Amino acid sequence: MTQHFFRIIQRLIWLAVLASSLCLPVNGAYAQDQTADVLIVGAGLSGLSAAYHLQKAGKTAVILEMSPHIGGRIRTASYPGDSQAEIGLEEFWENNPALEIIRELNIPLESAYTSFSSFYYQDKLYPFTHDSNLEFLESFLDGGEMKAYKKWDKKMVELHRQLAEVPLPEQLAALKEVSFADWIKSTSGLSAKAQEFVRIQTEPEYATSWHKISALDGIAEWHLFSGEGLAPMHVVGGNQRAAEAIADAIGRQNIRLNQLVTHIKSTDTGVEVTATDQAGFQNRVFRAQYVIAAIPLFRLNDIQFTPELSADRKQAIQTQSGGAYFTAHVITDGKASRFWTHEDESVLPIMSDGPLGVIYEGKSEAGQDAILNLLVCGTHAERFNARVNAPDEIRESLLAAFEKQWPGFRPLVKQMTFYRYHPRAIASWPVGRSRFDSLSKALRQPQGRVYFAGDFTEDTHSNGAASSAIRVVEGILQQK
């Protein structure tokens, strides 16, 4: 009896050793087996879109996501009383390829305002209550200023068209070396007020100073505002709904949460991706034909690559810069809405050009508390992000800024909630670099079986996340 018992134990131990040498994972599936045709690192808009397109093309895809959250920088917070506000992505510009998926999945969209917003300039509010961008401009620029503006905007449209030319015209490529601010000041012919308008409207997009980005990238950004501009779209019920709906479409079982990818090994025949489960710290190897790294480029620094990333790719990552965002949700008494209501109309969003950043309106029931969503950008965001132990100080800074702008607002504030992002929340390219240069192009090429996607490979907006997903999926589908 005892001998029989020992034989069973011996056999179990032997099976366990065999299983571990075969990397038997906890759920019993053999890790040597290919997990899917394609592994995707990151369940942000880029990774989700890539999985969606691959599945439509008949390929299997599994996403490994390090956090417990689906959507990456798409996050919607809800509050008691059915209020909600965006923590991350606020609007999908109408030319965003992600909208195609959103429409295919019948996710309802709304668009309440245009590309330009009301703004404060020298402590005076210029409310946007007009029917068009041009009418809005005419409300604060005189005839001569308007003429110069229209001429400059026309030139910007032409320069933007040339951005698509391959190779980039030499005089355009040279604009990489000059800041957007200096270029506008020296060549635009815009009045000082019009120049400030351009700065105030565009800086929240790249989340840093216009002195810190190249003119080449400024031209790309201005495209959102040229002429009547592009319409910003928002998902009814919160942008998070879009991420959830794409996750449902690709199948939740194909998204493995809490899996921090630490190593990507590529061979002639396939890829091996090692991930650490963040709950139990088990390491597991996943295998596929290809892998898509759909994460911000600076996050690639946390992953070991075999073979190593090429020198130009490393240089591209190290020399890219980033803009900072900090979000604050401010719950106020419903009566506070008088501060942002002009002629019975909400004039939000407002570009505050100060520590309040862009003041958006969250969703709340009529007659209930109101919710504002502050998208704080650039140096103010950097300061708030660095003050991790000082919520009272941040609250006081914001209340003081509100009170200066809207005397009598302070006592109506009931609650504030802060959300931080990585110091490089948004891709940007410093003077001397550009999204159009050869280093950026290097990252848009696969390295063997490893493809690079995510907004940081293309754009400061989620347009880049969505279009990079299409690029890498097309690249993979072309492989035999």
Query: Which stretches of the chain bind ligand FAD, using CB under 6 A?
Result: 41-47, 64-67, 72-74, 88-93, 260-261, 294-296, 299, 302-303, 325, 327, 375, 421, 425-426, 454-455, 461-463, 465
Min CB(114)–ligand FAD separation in Å: 14
Element at 241 (helix H, strand E): helix 240-250
Nearer to ligand FAD by C-beta: 187 or 445?
Answer: 445
Strands 109-110 and 232-235: antiparallel
Tally the C-alpha atoms within 13 A of residue 28's C-alpha that lie toward its C-beta.
0
Amino acid letter, residue 350: I
Q: How far is the CB of 186 from ligand FAD (least distance, A)?
A: 30
- For 344-349, the CB contacts below 8 A with 24+ separation are 345/129, 347/118, 347/125, 347/127, 347/128, 347/129, 348/118, 348/372, 349/113, 349/117, 349/118
Specify the residue, 188 or 239, whose C-beta has the smaller distance to ligand FAD: 239
Closest distance to ligand FAD from the beta carbon of 232 (Å): 7
Residue 141 CB, shortest distance to ligand FAD, in Å, is: 26
Amino acid present at 17: V
- Cα distance between the two ends of the chain: 59
User: Least CB distance from residue 305 to ligand FAD, whole Å?
Assistant: 12
Give the Cα separation of 83 and 24 in Å (integer). 46
Rounded Cα gap, residues 453 and 469, in angstroms: 6
Spell out the SS3 assignment of 286-298. Answer: EEECEEEECCCHH
Please state the closest distance from residue 60 (CB atom) to ligand FAD, in A. 19
User: Minimal distance in Å, beta carbon 243 to ligand FAD?
Assistant: 9
**Do residues 235 and 242 touch, judged by C-beta distance below 8 A?**
yes
CB atoms within 10 A of CB 46: 32
- Return the number of other C-beta atoms located less than 10 Å from residue 248's C-beta: 11
| H helical segments located in 30-119 | 45-56, 98-104
The nearer residue to ligand FAD, 302 or 393, going by C-beta atoms, is 302
CA distances, 162 to each of 18, 174, 313, 428 (Å): 61, 13, 25, 20
Q: Shortest approach of ligand FAD to residue 160 CB, angstroms?
A: 17
Of the two residues 43 and 439, which places its CB atom closer to ligand FAD in the complex?
43
Nearer to ligand FAD, 194 or 381 (CB): 381
Q: Which CB, 77 or 439, lies closer to ligand FAD?
A: 77
Residue 197 CB, nearest approach to ligand FAD (Å):
20
Judged by beta carbon, residue 92 or residue 436, the one nearer ligand FAD is 92
How near is the Cβ of 2 to ligand FAD at its closest, in Å?
49
Our CB check for ligand FAD shows the closer of 446 and 454 to be 454
227 three-class SS: coil
Q: Closer to ligand FAD by CB, 210 or 421: give it.
A: 421
Nearer to ligand FAD, 92 or 429 (CB): 92
Closest distance of CB 23 from ligand FAD, Å: 19
Radius of gyration for the alpha carbons in the chain, expressed in angstroms and rounded? 25
Are 49 and 72 spatial neighbours (Cβ–Cβ below 8 Å)?
no
Nearer to ligand FAD, 44 or 190 (CB): 44
Contacts of 304 by beta carbon, 8 Å cutoff, 6+ apart? 262, 263, 264
Q: Which residues contact 71 (CB under 8 A, 6 or more apart)?
A: 43, 44, 45, 48, 88, 239, 240, 242, 243, 244
Between CA 11 and CA 26 the distance in angstroms is 19
